[in-house]
Amino acid sequence: MKYLAIVGTNADVSTNRMLLQFMQKHFASDVDIELCEIKALPAFYEPEGEEVPETVVELSKKIIDADGVIIATPEYDHAIPAVLKSALEWISYTSQALTDKPVLIVGASHGVLGSSRAQAHLRQILDSPELAARIMPSSEFLLGKSQEAFDYAGKLKYPDKLAELNEVFREFLLFTKITTELLAEKAVIKKDKKYTWQE
């Protein structure tokens, strides 16, 4: 399987980016994870006609081609960063590429709460009709005190958090498989369904 991991910040130095980079290496034997930066995306605006920035088109294509999406978000004032909100607005306004896409939310913060409020905020946004992502339920990975969490090689140092991340990721692999099968079955049922006026 192939996952797209979105770095939900425009900061040059970010422990959320470090978390995704660690996941990319740590789970390399299970899945291909491509890191995706959103720093180059323009702030959302309603384009004239059907003109969409090329960077938005590229992001949409990467999401569509992926089996699932991982989003790492920091927490700014109890919410997700503006750059991440803007990226999601582009997707909802244009391609709606996240519709029915399996999504795992993770987050790191310098404090002890590990972006918990931002993750709740992000869940609410992804559940909106224009995005309609398939968010893995009852699961979140919160990495607090993230400035101290990685060693010089970029490996996660906290044994309890590593075990938690392993479990969450195993669940996401299964969630992705089940969701894909469910949607395929749904498409078959929808295709074969006949209404009374068709019989």
**pLDDT confidence tier of residue 189, bands split at 50, 70 and 90:** low
Q: Where residue 81 sits, what CATH number does that domain have?
A: 3.40.50.360
Q: Cα torsion for 80, 151, 157, 169, to the nearest 10°? A: 50
The 10s digit of each residue's pLDDT in 88-130 is 999 999 999 999 999 999 999 988 877 999 999 999 999 999 9
- For residue 79, how far is the Cα from the chain centroid? 16
User: Do the Cβ atoms of 138 and 74 come closer than 8 Å?
Assistant: no
Structure tokens at 178: 């089940």
pLDDT at 153: 95
pLDDT at 197: 44
Give the global pTM: 0.92
Q: Which domain holds residue 129?
A: 2-198
CA distances from residue 183 to 1, 18, 38, 123, 177 in whole angstroms, order as listed: 16, 32, 28, 20, 10
H-run or E-run covering 32 = strand 32-37
User: Do the Cβ atoms of 4 and 62 come closer than 8 Å?
Assistant: yes
For residue 138, count CB atoms less than 10 angstroms from its CB and return exposed for 0-12, middle for 13-18, buried for 19 or more: exposed
How many folded domains does the chain comprise? 1
The 10s digit of each residue's pLDDT in 29-73 is 999 999 999 999 999 998 877 789 999 999 999 999 999 999 999
User: Do the Cβ atoms of 71 and 136 come closer than 8 Å?
Assistant: no
The 10s digit of each residue's pLDDT in 123-169 is 999 999 999 999 998 888 999 999 999 999 999 999 999 999 999 99
Angle in degrees, 0-180, between the axes of helices 15-26 and 159-192, rounded to the nearest 10:
70
Instruction: Name the percent of the chain lying above pLDDT 90.
Output: 82
Q: Cα torsion for 62, 171, 179, 73, to the nearest 10°? A: -40
Round the average pLDDT of the chain to a whole number and report it: 92
Question: Alpha helices, DSSP H only, in 41-199?
Answer: 54-65, 82-93, 116-126, 159-192
